[in-house]
A and B are shown apart, each in its own frame.
Chain A
Amino acid sequence: MSTGTVVPPEVSTHATGGHPPTSTGLSHEKIGMWAFLGSECLLFGGLISTYLLYRGESRPGTITPPDVFDIPFTSVSSFVLLMSSLTMVLALAAIQRGDQHRLKVWLLTTGLLGATFVGGQVYEFTVFVREGLNLRTNLFGSSFYVLTGFHGVHVTLGVLMLLSLFSLAVRGKLGADRVETVELVGLYWHFVDIVWIVIFTLVYLIP
C-alpha cells in the first residue's frame, strides 16, 4: 500500500486525451469492439458452414441456386456496399481533419449506400419468393434466407448507427473528441462489408 503512487483520475484523463490510462494505450471501447467482432466471425462462420453443408443437399425437383440467382443484380448491390466502405473511410478522415461539413456528407452517403444495399436485398427476396423459393421450400431456401437475412440485419443496424451519428453531427454534437466513436462504427461497418464479400463469393459466385 505504502508503495502505491497516487493516480488522480482527473489529472490522468487530461494527460491521455480524455481516456483513463490503460495498460495497452488503446481505449477500452476499441479492444471491446475487436473482441466483439472476433465473436461475430464465429457467428457468421457457423451460418456459412451450415449453408455450405447443405449446398446441393436439397431434394431433387425443388429450386436450386441457379434457378433464382441474378448475378448481375447482386454484383451491383455488392459494389454499392463496397463503395460505402470507401465513404466510411472518407467520413473518418473528415472528422480527423475537423472538417464537419464533409463528415456530415460522407456519413449520410455511407448510410444511404447501406440502405440501398438493404433495399436491393429486400427486392431480391421478394423476387425469389415470387419465383417460389421461401424459407420452407427446401434446405437451400432455409439456409440461404437465414444467412443473408442475418447479414442484412447487421447492415440495417449499421445504417441505424450511421444515421444516429449523422443526426448528432447535424446537431453539432460530433466534435473532435468523438473521433473514436466514428472509428468504431467504421470498424463495425467494414466488418459487415468483408463478411458480405465472403458470402457473395461462397453463396453466389461459386457454382
Chain B
Amino acid sequence: MTSVDHKKIGILYAITSFVFFLLGGLEALALRVQLGTPDNTFLSPEAYNQMFTMHGTTMVFMVIMPLSAAFVNYLLPLMIGARDVAFPRMNAFSFWVFLAGGIFTYSSFFLGGAPNGGWFGYQPLGRNMGGHNIDFWVFGLQILGIASLTGAINLIVTVINMRAPGMSLMRMPIFVWMSLVVQFLLLFALPIITVALFLLMFDRQFATNFFNINAGADPLLWQHLFWLFGHPEVYILILPAMGIVSEILPVFSRKPLFGYRVMVFSGIAIGFMGWGVWAHHMFATGIGPVALSAFSASTMFIAVPTGVKIFNWISTLWKGKIKVTAPLLFAVGFVAMFTIGGLSGVTHAVVPSDTQQTDTYYIVAHFHYVLFGGSMFGLFGGAYFWWPKVRGHMLNERLGKFQFWLMFLGFNMTFAPFHILGLQGMPRRVYTYPEGQGWDFWNFVSSVGSFVIAASVLVFMYNVRASRKNPRCGADPWDARTLEWSISSPPPEYNFAEIPVVAALDDVWHRKYTEDASGRPVRRPVRTDAEVAAAAEMPDQPERPDIHMPSPSYWPLFTALGLPIMSYAMIYKAWVPAAIGGIWTLAGIYAWSLEPQTAEDHHDPEAGHGQEPGNPELGSPVAESVSAGGAT
C-alpha cells in the first residue's frame, strides 16, 4: 500500500488493468449475446446503452492506457539504466488515483446505473440525460485524467533526466522512445478533454449553458474538444504496443531493428501529425468542404509514417534467423492485424466513402482491428516477452502459442464480419435488429468468435497459474538486447547495483556479441553461457545499504483518496463533503511535501517543503521538491 518502487507499481498497474480487462470483456460478451440473434431480449435497450458505454470507456481508459502504463512503469527505468522514476511517490499517487477513478466509475452500477452516453459522450445528449449515470462518467474520467497526467510528467522527466551515462537519445531503446512520445501526447491531450469534461460538469451540476442549444450553444464544441483529445488518444493507445513489438521482433529474428532512426522519427511524426487529423471523426457533421479536404489529406498523410513502420518491421524479420516463440507470434499478429486496421482506416480518410461508413459496423471493425488486433496483441506479446524478467520464470510456451492461435482465430471471427455488416448498412449502437436484413449469419459468427476470444483469455490465465512452478530462468532467457536483461530476474529493488555505462544502441547485445568479417554475429569469448547465467543469478539479491531508495509513503494513497470523496459529494451536490474532500487532498499534498523522501533525511526536517499544490482539477502535486532533498 505504501510502496513507491516503480516495479511494484508497474505490477499493480498490470493486475488492476487486467481485472478491468475481464470486466470490459464481460460487457463485450453481454453485447455479443444480445446481438447474436435478431430481436433478442437478453439486454434491455437501457442496459445495452450502459454496456457499450462502459465497454468502450473501460477498454480505452482502464485497460489499454494503464496496461501500457504498466509496461512503461516497469521497463522504462530499467531500459535507461535508472534506479527509479524521477518522482517515485508521485508515481504511486498516479496508480492510486487510477484505481480510485476506476472503482469510482464502476461503482455507478450499484448507484443507479452506469454511464449510458457512449464513450465519446456526445452533447447535448449527455447534458440533458436524467439520472447520475453521465455524472459518474464525467467525474471518473477527470480522476483518471489526473492519474495519466501526473504519470506523464513523471515519465517525461525520467527519460529526459535519468538516463545512464552514455545513453544518448539515439541510443535509447525504441520502446523508450515510443513511450516518451506517448507521454508528451498525454501531457498535451489530457487538458483538452479535461476542459470538455469540466464544461459538461458545470452544465450538469450548475446548469450553465455550454451545451445548451436553447441558449445558442454549438453542439460541435464538444466534438471538437473531444476529438482534438481523441485522435492523439488513439496514438496514445497504439504507440506503446508499437514500441513493444519493435523490441520483440529484433530479439527473435536475431537482427537489429531495421531502420532504428527512421522508426524513431516516424514515431515522432505520428505524434505530431496526430494533432492535425481529429476532424475526420466529424466528416458527417457538415464542417464545410475546405475542412473536409484538409483533414482528408492529413489523414491520408499520417498513414505514411505508419506504413514506414510496417515495412521496417517486415524488413527486421526479412532474412532473420527467426525463432518462433509466443511473443514473436503476438508481435507478427500485431503487424498483420494492425495493417488490416490501418487499411480500413485509410478508407475513412476518403470523405465520400466515410460518409457512407459513418456510424456503421465498418467503423467498429476498423477500431477493433487497431485497438485489439493492434494494441492488445502487442501488449499480450509484451506480457509473454517480459514475464521471465518480472517473475523470474517463463510462461509455458506451448500454452502461449495455443493461446495466440485461439485468440487470433476468435479475433478474426468476431471482428472481420463487422466489415461486411457495416458495408451492408448495419448501424452502430443499436440494441437489436429485425430478422431478414441479411445480418443474422454474420452476427452469429461474430458472437461465437467473441466466446473464442474469452476462451483464449482463460488459457492465458491458466498459463499464468500453471507456469508458477516453472524453473527459474536466469537473467537473459531470450538472448535479448536491452539493459533490463543485464540484471537478475526479477530485478533487485535498486535495479542496478552499478549504474551501467552505455556505449551503443542495444548495448547488452554488443556486450555479448561481436561481428565476424561477413557481419554475422559471433558471441564474444569473454563469457560462456554458464558465466552469464551465474553472473545473472546474483545470489539472493544482496542487500545494498549504501544505495538509498525512496522510503515507502502513505501520503500518495491518502491524497488520491480525496478525489473520489470530492467527486461523490459533487455528484450528489453535497457541498460540505465536497469541501472536505478538497481539503483532504490539499492536506495530503502538504503532508507529502513535508515528508522526507528517503530514510536518510529523517534528521533533516527541512528537506522538502515548497509544495506545488497544483490546481484542484488536476490536483497534481507537480513538483516533488523533496527528491532534491537527498542532500545530507
Closest Cβ of chain B to A45, distance in Å, is 8
Cβ of B209 and Cβ of A138 under 8 Å apart? yes
B239 interface hit (Cβ, 8 Å): no
Q: Choose from B149, B165, B202 the contact partner of A5 (Cβ within 8 Å).
A: B165
If the complex has contacts A33-B623, A181-B625, A188-B612, are A28 and B631 also in contact, measured as CB distance less than 8 A? Answer: no
Closest Cβ of chain B to A129, distance in Å, is 13
A1 and B199 CA atoms in complex are apart in Å by: 53
Cβ of B217 and Cβ of A54 under 8 Å apart? yes
A105 interface hit (Cβ, 8 Å): no
A54 and B625 CA atoms in complex are apart in Å by: 40
Closest Cβ of chain A to B525, distance in Å, is 14
Interface membership of chain A positions 133-172, coded 1 if the CB is closer than 8 angstroms to chain B and 0 otherwise: 0011011011100100010011001001100110010000
Q: Which residues of B contact A75 (CB under 8 A)?
A: none
Q: Which residues of A contact B165 (CB under 8 A)?
A: 5, 7
For this complex, into which size category does the number of interface residues on chain B fall?
A: 35 or more
Cβ of B498 and Cβ of A6 under 8 Å apart? yes
Cβ of A136 and Cβ of B191 under 8 Å apart? no
Question: Interface-forming stretch among B152-160, B412-420, B570-578?
Answer: B152-160
Cβ of A9 and Cβ of B498 under 8 Å apart? no
Q: Which residues of B in the span 484-516 have a Cβ within 8 Å of any Cβ on A?
A: 486-487, 496, 498-501, 503, 511
B38 interface hit (Cβ, 8 Å): no
| Nearest CB in chain B to that of A29: its residue | B623
Cβ of A46 and Cβ of B195 under 8 Å apart? yes
B286 interface hit (Cβ, 8 Å): no
Interface membership of chain B positions 207-250, coded 1 if the CB is closer than 8 angstroms to chain A and 0 otherwise: 11110000111100100010000000000000000000000000
Total chain A interface residues with beta-carbon distance under 8 A: 69
A115 interface hit (Cβ, 8 Å): no
Cβ of B612 and Cβ of A33 under 8 Å apart? yes
A42 interface hit (Cβ, 8 Å): yes
Closest Cβ of chain B to A146, distance in Å, is 6
Q: Which of A20, A47, A138, A154 has the most CB of B within 10 A?
A: A20
B292 interface hit (Cβ, 8 Å): no
A58 and B191 CA atoms in complex are apart in Å by: 26
Q: Choose from A35, A59, A143 the contact partner of B210 (Cβ within 8 Å).
A: A143
| Nearest CB in chain B to that of A7: its residue | B499
Closest Cβ of chain A to B50, distance in Å, is 28
Interface membership of chain A positions 119-140, coded 1 if the CB is closer than 8 angstroms to chain B and 0 otherwise: 0000000000000000110110
Cβ of A168 and Cβ of B202 under 8 Å apart? no
| Nearest CB in chain B to that of A140: its residue | B209
A116 interface hit (Cβ, 8 Å): no
Interface membership of chain A positions 56-80, coded 1 if the CB is closer than 8 angstroms to chain B and 0 otherwise: 0111000000000000000000000
| Nearest CB in chain A to that of B195: its residue | A46
Cβ of A3 and Cβ of B218 under 8 Å apart? no
A175 and B615 CA atoms in complex are apart in Å by: 26
Cβ of B628 and Cβ of A28 under 8 Å apart? yes
Q: Which residues of A contact B615 (CB under 8 A)?
A: 153-154, 157
Cβ of A13 and Cβ of B631 under 8 Å apart? yes
Cβ of A181 and Cβ of B609 under 8 Å apart? yes
Q: Which residues of A contact B163 (CB under 8 A)?
A: 23
How many residue pairs link A and B with beta carbons under 8 A? The number is 215
Closest Cβ of chain B to A34, distance in Å, is 9
A184 interface hit (Cβ, 8 Å): yes
| Nearest CB in chain B to that of A14: its residue | B631
A121 and B547 CA atoms in complex are apart in Å by: 51
A153 and B619 CA atoms in complex are apart in Å by: 12
Q: Which residues of A contact B110 (CB under 8 A)?
A: none
Q: Which residues of B in the span 505-537 have a Cβ within 8 Å of any Cβ on A?
A: 511, 535
Interface membership of chain A positions 22-49, coded 1 if the CB is closer than 8 angstroms to chain B and 0 otherwise: 1110111111110110111011011100
Closest Cβ of chain A to B430, distance in Å, is 33
B632 interface hit (Cβ, 8 Å): yes
A77 and B632 CA atoms in complex are apart in Å by: 44
B192 interface hit (Cβ, 8 Å): yes
If the complex has contacts A7-B499, A142-B202, A181-B610, are A31 and B630 also in contact, measured as CB distance less than 8 A? Answer: no
Cβ of B613 and Cβ of A161 under 8 Å apart? yes
Q: Which residues of B contact A180 (CB under 8 A)?
A: 625, 628
A99 interface hit (Cβ, 8 Å): no
Q: Which residues of B in the span 147-188 have a Cβ within 8 Å of any Cβ on A?
A: 149, 152-154, 156-157, 160-163, 165, 167, 187-188
Q: Which residues of B in the span 582-632 have a Cβ within 8 Å of any Cβ on A?
A: 590, 606, 609-618, 620, 622-625, 627-632
| Nearest CB in chain A to that of B496: its residue | A4
B421 interface hit (Cβ, 8 Å): no
A18 and B162 CA atoms in complex are apart in Å by: 16
A180 and B609 CA atoms in complex are apart in Å by: 11
Cβ of B209 and Cβ of A142 under 8 Å apart? yes
Cβ of A157 and Cβ of B614 under 8 Å apart? yes
Closest Cβ of chain B to A63, distance in Å, is 13
Closest Cβ of chain A to B244, distance in Å, is 24
A19 interface hit (Cβ, 8 Å): yes
B548 interface hit (Cβ, 8 Å): yes
Q: Which residues of A contact B332 (CB under 8 A)?
A: none
| Nearest CB in chain A to that of B549: its residue | A9
A24 and B86 CA atoms in complex are apart in Å by: 13
Q: Choose from A13, A36, A165, A178 the contact partner of B614 (Cβ within 8 Å).
A: A36
B196 interface hit (Cβ, 8 Å): yes
Cβ of A24 and Cβ of B206 under 8 Å apart? no
| Nearest CB in chain A to that of B150: its residue | A36
A50 interface hit (Cβ, 8 Å): yes
Cβ of B199 and Cβ of A50 under 8 Å apart? yes
Q: Choose from A31, A39, A154 the contact partner of B160 (Cβ within 8 Å).
A: A31
Cβ of B609 and Cβ of A164 under 8 Å apart? yes
Cβ of A32 and Cβ of B87 under 8 Å apart? yes
Q: Which residues of B contact A150 (CB under 8 A)?
A: 198, 617
Closest Cβ of chain B to A153, distance in Å, is 6
Q: Which residues of A contact B192 (CB under 8 A)?
A: 42-43, 46
Q: Which residues of A in the span 95-120 have a Cβ within 8 Å of any Cβ on B?
A: none
Cβ of A29 and Cβ of B161 under 8 Å apart? no
B190 interface hit (Cβ, 8 Å): yes
A118 and B198 CA atoms in complex are apart in Å by: 22
If the complex has contacts A13-B630, A136-B209, A184-B625, are A32 and B216 also in contact, measured as CB distance less than 8 A? Answer: no
Given contacts A50-B210, A181-B610, 12 further A-B contacts (CB under 8 A): A1-B500, A3-B501, A18-B628, A31-B160, A32-B87, A32-B154, A33-B622, A39-B188, A54-B217, A57-B217, A139-B216, A181-B625
Cβ contacts A to B, 22 pairs, < 8 Å = A3-B500, A6-B498, A7-B498, A10-B632, A13-B630, A18-B629, A19-B630, A23-B160, A28-B627, A32-B87, A32-B153, A43-B192, A50-B199, A59-B215, A139-B209, A139-B217, A146-B198, A146-B199, A160-B613, A161-B610, A168-B609, A181-B625
7 tightest CB-CB pairs across the interface, nearest first? Answer: A181-B610, A46-B195, A4-B498, A142-B208, A18-B631, A43-B191, A42-B191
